[in-house]
Amino acid sequence: GENVEQHPSTLSVQEGDSAVIKCTYSDSASNYFPWYKQELGKRPQLIIDIRSNVGEKKDQRIAVTLNKTAKHFSLHITETQPEDSAVYFCALRGGFQKLVFGTGTRLLVSP
Amino acid sequence: DGGITQSPKYLFRKEGQNVTLSCEQNLNHDAMYWYRQDPGQGLRLIYYSQIVNDFQKGDIAEGYSVSREKKESFPLTVTSAQKNPTAFYLCASSIGLVVFGELFFGEGSRLTVL
């Protein structure tokens, strides 16, 4: 089945720095790439998504880029704040329209 | 208040016992899902249902069973056949099994097998 690799597994940054999380995939038929954020003890929530016909999408301090040729997509968080600390999951919609998740990145933003 | 409610939040079970996790949604969503979350392994799909009285196996269905008798409810039974049941279980729903649909998650149920 479809597989998605996510890196890094943990990421520590200072407040105000940028953070980048990258996911790679193999199925060229994938056409929807969402990102979910899970704060400690809470449910995952969608924070941004991108469709295959778009190369980049921004929403305030977060952005997602997609490179369909190289089969990778990335989450970019600028001017990080302590409340950005969470586990971030990339995902993609592959065959049979099931959502497949990456293994998660634990982001820690230190004040 | 619309959303997804999972119960119980914490559950302890002895080996050899079946246990059922409840998931109820009042979002009027057609599709519902069960995921298992283990440290370092992301979210893995157990079962999903597109419509009442219909459900399909996900990637790790062995040792689990579900039912979908009502649109609002999608209970998951963890049977004694599940070799390693201790995990965090998340229920989710979406408007339909559509390509660009957002998943709405419950708060999860943590199962510990003693």
- Classified as helix, coil or strand, A82 is helix
pLDDT at B39 over 60: yes
Q: What is the pLDDT of residue B99?
A: 64
Using pLDDT thresholds of 50, 70 and 90, give the confidence band for residue A53.
Answer: confident
Whether residue B35 contacts residue B21, with contact meaning beta carbons closer than 8 Å, is answered with no
What does the pLDDT look like over A82-92, one tens digit per residue?
Answer: 999 999 999 99
Both structure tokens of B74? 């999608």
Least confident of A2-11, A55-64, B61-70, B97-106: B97-106
Q: How far apart are CA A50 and CA B112, in angstroms?
A: 37
As a whole number, mean pLDDT of residues B45-68 equals 94
Burial of B71 (0-12, 13-18, 19+ CB in 10 A): middle
- In degrees, rounded to 5, the angle at the alpha carbon of residue B61 between the alpha carbons of residues A27 and B28 is 85
Q: How far apart are CA A96 and CA A38, in angstroms?
A: 25
The residue ranges of DSSP E strands in chain A, in sequence order, are 4-7, 10-14, 19-25, 32-38, 45-51, 56-59, 62-67, 72-77, 86-93, 99-101, 105-110
pLDDT at B40 over 70: yes
Q: What is the bridge-based pairing of β-strands A62-67 and A56-59?
A: antiparallel
DSSP state of B70: B
Question: How big is the A-B interface in CB pairs under 8 Å?
Answer: 47
As a whole number, mean pLDDT of residues A32-60 equals 93
As a whole number, mean pLDDT of residues B8-22 equals 93
Closest Cα partner for A67 from A94, A104, A107, A30?
A30
Q: Which of B105, B107, B109, B110 to mutate to test the interface with A (most CBs of A within 10 A)?
A: B105
User: Would the CB atoms of A32 and B97 count as touching at under 8 Å?
Assistant: no
Q: How far apart are CA A31 and CA A29, in angstroms?
A: 6
Confirm or reject contact between B41 and chain A (CB < 8 A).
yes
Q: What is the pLDDT of residue B89?
A: 97
Torsion of CA A9, B57, B36, A75, to 10 degrees: 30
Q: Which chain A residues contact residue B97 at CB under 8 A? A: 97
Amino acid, single-letter form, for residue B9: K
Distance from CA of B77 to the nearest CA of A (A): 21
Using pLDDT thresholds of 50, 70 and 90, give the confidence band for residue B105.
Answer: very high
Residue in the structure block whose two tokens are 């994938």:
A30
Confirm or reject contact between A44 and chain B (CB < 8 A).
yes
From residue A53, how far is each of A67, A68, A74, A76 by CA, in Å? 10, 9, 15, 19
Amino acid, single-letter form, for residue B91: C
Residue in the structure block whose two tokens are 């390693």:
B84
The shortest CB-CB distance from B40 to any of A32, A99, A103 is to A103
Whether residue A97 contacts residue A32, with contact meaning beta carbons closer than 8 Å, is answered with no
Q: Which chain B residues contact residue A32 at CB under 8 A? A: 99-100
User: Would the CB atoms of B97 and A97 count as touching at under 8 Å?
Assistant: yes
